[in-house]
Amino acid sequence: MFSRKNESYWIKVVVAVVVVTVAGYCIKNNYYEQKRRSLARELAFKEEKQCQNTIRKAKLLPIRGGASLNRERLVGFHISSTIEDGQCIADVLEGSVWWTGRDIIPASFGVGQTHESSWRMFNVGARLYKNKNHGCTERNDCPKESISTGYRNTKWPEELTIKLKNYPGLELWLYVTPPAVENRFRVTDFVIRDWRRRDGTPRIISCPGLDYPSADLAKNEFNTKQLLTFDTYKLEGLDIRNINAVCEVDLDNFEFAGGDARVSFGTNSLAEAPHALHAINEYLTRSIITGSEQ
């Protein structure tokens, strides 16, 4: 018979063998798993490079939803690509444009050359996909996310609507008669009066830069806090052209046939923004090909 000492010894031997076997199995599996992942990364990298080359050379670039972007109708923009469901598609569009007051000119054209002082620059970042809701005609057909929070009305009380003398086509829709702190989130949001969605809800230009005073704002002693002290008369005469702050139109306020976009610009361009934004929207939409055009 085995003694307890021998029995303990053999148990330890068996356990050690099992541990070594399991460890070896794990190491082997880990090696092959790492190798599989490495090969998968290499394959994905090659596919991405091939996709980038395809996007760079092709005239028509497929986007999500089955539409295409015609590169020849949209020049001067950087186009990013991705692989989705095995298909190489263009997914992000980035670039800057000049608004001359009549036309859109890609900022990459004539780099280093002088431009007219009246020209205004707008920076565009767009997500590309076939926008099935673009141009919807009934309120119930439009996605909820396309209606800015707090601006679901098609009309606003006249006594709370501030028509801005220095910014034709832009209005402030306030909560209460100014001055009042209740208007905190309304005095930096500008309603585009003459370019609304088809359901009548307004598109909004937000100027969040007024919440974060830069050197210029400090020098002019002007920011959102000061805006809240303005009465109706002062707000009507608002002029922030000489203040260096950022304004933008966010994704839910700028849908076009090929997706949606965020457009940013300085407060010195705010007066020209309503016409410029509409022109940029048309410029992007003209580059999208759907249906029988393809």
Question: Looking at residue 71, what DSSP letter applies?
Answer: G
pLDDT band at 54 (very low <50, low <70, confident <90, very high): confident
Taking the C-alpha atoms of residue 29 and residue 26, their distance in angstroms, rounded to an integer, is: 5
Question: Would you list the domain boundaries of the chain?
Answer: 1-57, 58-287
pLDDT band at 16 (very low <50, low <70, confident <90, very high): low
Query: How does strand 87-99 pair with strand 120-128?
Result: antiparallel
Question: Looking at residue 264, what DSSP letter applies?
Answer: E
pLDDT band at 210 (very low <50, low <70, confident <90, very high): confident
| Interval 192-206: pLDDT, tens | 999 988 778 889 999
**Given CA atoms 27, 31, 36, 37 in this order, what sign does their dihedral have?**
positive
Structure tokens at 282: 């048309």
What is the model's pLDDT at position 33? 63
Share of the chain above pLDDT 90, in %: 46
Give the phi and the psi of residue 99 in degrees, each rounded to 5. -105, 115
Taking the C-alpha atoms of residue 193 and residue 171, their distance in angstroms, rounded to an integer, is: 7
What is the model's pLDDT at position 146? 41
Helices (DSSP H) in the chain: which residue ranges?
A: 4-57, 215-220, 224-227, 232-236, 273-286
- Give 60's strand partners: 70
Per the CB < 8 A criterion, the answer to whether 145 and 110 are in contact is no
With vertex at residue 114, the alpha carbon angle to CA 111 and CA 118, rounded to the nearest 5 degrees, is 115
What is the model's pLDDT at position 44? 64
Per the CB < 8 A criterion, the answer to whether 154 and 200 are in contact is yes
Res 36 pLDDT > 90:
no
Average pLDDT in the chain: 82
| Interval 152-170: pLDDT, tens | 778 899 999 999 999 999 9
Taking the C-alpha atoms of residue 186 and residue 228, their distance in angstroms, rounded to an integer, is: 10
| Interval 69-118: pLDDT, tens | 998 888 889 999 998 888 899 999 999 999 999 999 988 766 556 678 88
Beta-carbon contacts of 163 under 8 Å, excluding residues fewer than 6 positions away, are: 171, 236
pTM above 0.75, yes or no: yes
